[in-house]
């Protein structure tokens, strides 16, 4: 097990990543490229500089303090930048932010344990997410082992686009899988995420067979995966597994667009499905479950 990993955010008192009050640890690194991603700062494993144009006052403090004498010109992809972070410290308006920090499993587990009373009172616990958390499977296993030793409920949020041996590393310590199943058609899945879903579905099936509790999470975008057929295919895929206790439909939001631009990527915006469409999908789920 690895004692160190790269974390880009820690959210305490979360109520949207599993049951109860939770601490959610977000790890860097992802091998999908979902066009609607709301956390593009998680893509690469190393730390990353983000520039928010809306917050920037063009005060030039960052240019003046840079040891590399980089003339900041509204770009954050300068190859000479060594990510020392001095420019971030000089920015009084939070236009520059650094994402990604090396932490030890002991540090993370110690932080998580501070809120154990809240977990116990609410049925909550720890959730590790990403990015794709399983790209740092040894680190995840090390954290989960420490928190399970003090009876904290452990949940893993994953898209499962990894070899199964990575899943096996964390399996003994997991109480709940939060599995992202985005699009059932494999070619359409590749079009919108960059990969086919054969491995993802194979891994999901193997997890279902273990009897571990599973929640399915589906981000819904208009004209991408909000069609009835996609939902019927998903319901057919999970039929018969009583350990799948919940299906969460997550309507698209565009918070990732500006973040993509802020790290030098092109942001692509989708449409949020209508309330009627979301209701129709929800009714279909309830009619089959």
Do residue 155 and residue 212 come from a single domain?
yes
Do residue 84 and residue 185 come from a single domain?
no
Q: What is the pLDDT of residue 76?
A: 58
Distance from C-alpha of 123 to C-alpha of 125, rounded to nearest angstrom: 7
Do residue 93 and residue 229 come from a single domain?
no
Q: Which of 59, 81, 99 is the last residue of a domain?
A: 99
Do residue 31 and residue 157 come from a single domain?
yes
DSSP H or E run through 202? helix 198-210
Query: Which stretches of the chain score pLDDT less than 50?
Result: none
Tokens 């494993």 correspond to what residue? 45
Q: What is the pLDDT of residue 75?
A: 57
Q: What is the pLDDT of residue 78?
A: 61
Q: What is the pLDDT of residue 71?
A: 63
Tokens 């990353």 correspond to what residue? 48
User: In CATH, what number is assigned to the domain containing residue 178?
Assistant: 3.20.20.70
Q: What is the pTM assigned to this prediction?
A: 0.92
Do residue 169 and residue 32 come from a single domain?
yes
Q: What is the pLDDT of residue 3?
A: 86
Do residue 10 and residue 59 come from a single domain?
no
Contact partners, residue 112, CB within 8 Å, separation at least 6:
23, 25, 126, 143, 147, 152
Do residue 10 and residue 150 come from a single domain?
yes
Do residue 91 and residue 111 come from a single domain?
no
Do residue 129 and residue 251 come from a single domain?
yes
Do residue 80 and residue 164 come from a single domain?
no
Instruction: Give the tens place of pLDDT for each residue, 78-91.
Output: 667 888 889 999 99
The candidate with the shortest Cα–Cα distance to 109, out of 150, 157, 63, is 150
Distance from C-alpha of 24 to C-alpha of 128, rounded to nearest angstrom: 6
Instruction: Give the tens place of pLDDT for each residue, 101-125.
Output: 999 999 999 999 999 999 999 999 9
Q: Which of 84, 99, 114 is the last residue of a domain?
A: 99
Distance from C-alpha of 155 to C-alpha of 193, rounded to nearest angstrom: 24
Do residue 64 and residue 141 come from a single domain?
no
How many domains does the chain contain in total?
2
Q: What is the pLDDT of residue 74?
A: 54
Q: What is the pLDDT of residue 162?
A: 98
The domain of 59 spans: 49-99
User: In CATH, what number is assigned to the domain containing residue 54?
Assistant: 3.30.70.20
Q: Which of 67, 99, 131 is the last residue of a domain?
A: 99
């Amino acid at each position: 097990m690895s004692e160190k990993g790269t974390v880009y955010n820690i959210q305490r008192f979360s109520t949207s990543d599993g049951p109860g009050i939770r601490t959610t640890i977000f790890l860097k690194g992802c091998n999908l490229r979902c066009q609607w991603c709301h956390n593009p700062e998680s893509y690469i494993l190393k730390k990353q500089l983000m520039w928010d144009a809306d917050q920037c006052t063009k005060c030039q403090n960052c240019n003046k303090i840079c040891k590399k004498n980089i003339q900041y010109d509204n770009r954050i992809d300068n190859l000479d930048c060594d990510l020392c972070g001095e420019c971030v410290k000089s920015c009084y308006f939070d236009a520059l932010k650094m994402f990604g920090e090396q932490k030890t499993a002991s540090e993370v587990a110690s932080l998580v344990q501070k809120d154990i009373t809240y977990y116990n009172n609410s049925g909550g616990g720890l959730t590790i997410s990403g990015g794709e958390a399983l790209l740092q499977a040894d680190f995840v296993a090390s954290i989960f082992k420490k928190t399970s030793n003090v009876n904290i409920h452990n949940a893993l949020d994953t898209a499962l686009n990894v070899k199964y041996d990575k899943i096996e590393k964390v399996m003994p310590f997991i109480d709940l899988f939060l599995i992202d199943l985005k699009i059932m058609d494999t070619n359409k899945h590749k079009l919108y995420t960059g990969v086919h879903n054969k491995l993802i579905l194979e891994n999901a099936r193997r997890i279902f067979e273990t009897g571990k509790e599973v929640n399915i999470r589906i981000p819904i975008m208009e004209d991408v995966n909000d069609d009835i057929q996609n939902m019927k295919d998903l319901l057919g895929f999970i039929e018969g597994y009583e350990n799948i206790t919940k299906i969460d439909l997550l309507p698209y939001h565009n918070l990732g667009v500006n973040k993509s631009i802020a790290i030098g990527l092109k942001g692509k915006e989708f449409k949020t499905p209508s309330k009627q469409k979301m209701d129709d999908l929800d009714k279909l789920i309830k009619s089959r479950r």
